[in-house]
Amino acid sequence: MANEKILVVEDDISISRGLCHNLKYEGYEVRCASCGNAVMPIVSEFSPLLIVLDLMLPGMDGFAVLETLRSTGNDVHIIVLSARQSEADKVRALQLGADDYVTKPFGLREFLARVQAAMRRIRTRTIVEEAPITFDNIVIEPGLKRILKDGQPVRLTPRACELLIYFARHPGRIYSREALLDHAWPDDYEGTARTVDNFVVQIRSQIEADPSHPRYLMTVHGQGYRFDMP
């Protein structure tokens, strides 16, 4: 669940703390906000995959938050969590762009199941939407974390695969080993510069025709590595 970020927008402190605690326990990265006016700055900086949104908020209410998010083209998945139980409120929230609506009081297990279902849909959408990266006889499928060479799967460890995907997403840029450790892996991976070198060797052995004279994954002496695509 690394990098699966959730923003909880709830002004009831006890509910907010309970939700955040349980979502973190489930492995999600969680931020909390207690008013609607804080949502857009947090979304811009945090980029959550899912927002849990109360409707009755100080400042900008939940309906206004929904309208603002959707009017700016943000398609983040939104679960409304509200004490407002009327059909009119539910219809309005859904019409404004909410993906789900849960009424208070709610069961924690059901709520977490809804979050898990939402995340499954988000993962599937991400896999479908992220187009393969193709060059020469290599096909990189980022969403599936799969590399093909001449139509056959390339045998890479998961970490090496993630590093190759990161390089392929940013061709032509030079990255130091330290920068790769910070950005190439989706969690707090604790490696060393030597670890990066080992993964580079592994990648070259699988995708380069002559690993000792690489065509794609280049060493930039004194700086790090650069990935070149034809």
Residue-wise pLDDT tens digits, 132-143: 899 999 999 887
Report which residue type is found at 121. Answer: R
The two structure tokens encoding residue 99: 């993906």
Q: What is the pLDDT of residue 23?
A: 94
For a pLDDT cut of 70, what percent of the chain falls above it?
95
What is the location of CATH 1.10.10.10 in the chain? 133-227
Fold of the 133-227 domain: Arc Repressor Mutant, subunit A (1.10.10)
What is the location of CATH 3.40.50.2300 in the chain? 5-129
- How far apart CA 76 and CA 190 sit, in angstroms, is 30
**CATH value of 5-129 in 2.40.50.100, 3.40.1710.10, 3.40.50.720, 3.40.50.2300:** 3.40.50.2300
Distances (CA, A) of 141 to 27, 81, 118: 25, 36, 23
Distances (CA, A) of 189 to 16, 79, 122, 158: 29, 31, 24, 12
Predicted confidence pLDDT, tens digits, the chain (230 residues)? 546 899 999 999 999 999 999 999 999 999 999 999 999 999 988 889 999 999 999 999 999 999 999 888 888 999 999 999 999 999 999 999 899 999 999 999 999 999 998 988 887 776 666 788 999 999 998 877 889 999 999 988 888 998 999 999 899 999 999 889 888 876 667 788 889 999 999 999 999 999 999 999 999 999 999 999 98
Q: What predicted TM-score, i.e. pTM, was given to this entire model?
A: 0.58
